[in-house]
Structure 1
């Protein structure tokens, strides 16, 4: 029991320290009228689940992907940031109609976009999770997964609450969607830089 409680404590600290920047990304998504709440929630959980699953698999196989290759994930937020800039520049309508099959397809694209950005933004987390899981029992890894799922809900709740705050919500919604593309591009560039991807492939 003590080991399990200790694992829960470690899981909380690890998630909070490695995913704090994800909170700001969620603020941008919630502020963007193009994205529906359901799409953000599904995309976020898919992204977190992918990071968790890959880290568990890597820990079982004692397999660590070189940071330079993980850094390639940074291309995803750069792509979505540039795409969103183009849409804003051209004044493309961001309203979704659930009964419109074309817009429904776009909705699925939004889910994929959120998931990919979450994975890219948390790509470096794999290097933290993998050795951590490699030294844990199956029950402790399961506990980590439960904590990550619960804290993901907290992250989503906090971001949604801030965007809908009586005082803070209005300016975030008014300007947030314009900031999102630049945030995504900056995150992508930072991921490529910190992972040494550009230097690795250039050399």
Structure 2
């Protein structure tokens, strides 16, 4: 799989929860003027903050000796194991452990803050991938990610009008994330990135 495919998959699995949050913001903000624009701007601001932190940390990680870089795979591996543990612990929760049911409309800066705060795990995954990919590969990831933010906003709007789909994502999206993070961590550890 080329860098574009890897970037698409990485973005999708690390941002499944964002689709649910975006759908909730669209549903809660229904009828507000300029809602799509405000949500898109808020999402881009928050995600730009995530990327800025991840890129800066990846450049710092590039200063490490090459033999150390695969060990950065321990971070997504640990995040995946932690997420899996949380899924296992919340397996009896009726809402699927989402916890996003209380999302209210908070404006552009509020959405940006929610996006950034929700992206801590994304940063932990992106740093080792970006560091292993080098400057050119990192640029490719960033461009694909920024294009996909618009797709995510459109999907969030779409899902806001399809409650069955939004409930399914809320219920099962958290199960996919640990599996992919563990796989990604193992791939980086093996030097496959």
TM-score for both structures, normalised by structure 2? 0.59
Which residue, 21, 29, 49 being the options, matches 2:9? Answer: 21
Kindly name which structure, 1 or 2, has the bigger radius of gyration based on alpha carbons: 1
Match of 1:200 in 2: none
In the alignment, the residues of structure 1 paired with residue 102 and residue 82 of structure 2 have an alpha-carbon distance, to the nearest angstrom, of 21
Question: Does the Cα contact within 8 Å between 1:46 and 1:115 map onto a contact in 2?
Answer: no
Q: Does 1:96 align with 2:100?
A: no
Measure how far apart 1:32 and its partner are.
4.5
Deviation digits for residues 176-201 of structure 1, max 9, x if unmatched? 1112211111122212322348xxxx
Match of 1:72 in 2: 75
Q: Does 1:160 align with 2:153?
A: yes
Unaligned runs of 5+ in 2: 26-38
Tell me the C-alpha RMSD between the 2 structures. Answer: 4.3
- SS of the equivalent of 2:132 reads helix
Unaligned runs of 5+ in 1: 1-12, 134-140, 198-203
Match of 1:182 in 2: 175
Provide closer, same or farther for how the CA distance between residues 171 and 158 of structure 1 changes in structure 2, counting only shifts above 3 A.
Answer: farther
TM-score for both structures, normalised by structure 1? 0.57
Match of 2:120 in 1: 115
In the alignment, the residues of structure 2 paired with residue 41 and residue 83 of structure 1 have an alpha-carbon distance, to the nearest angstrom, of 28
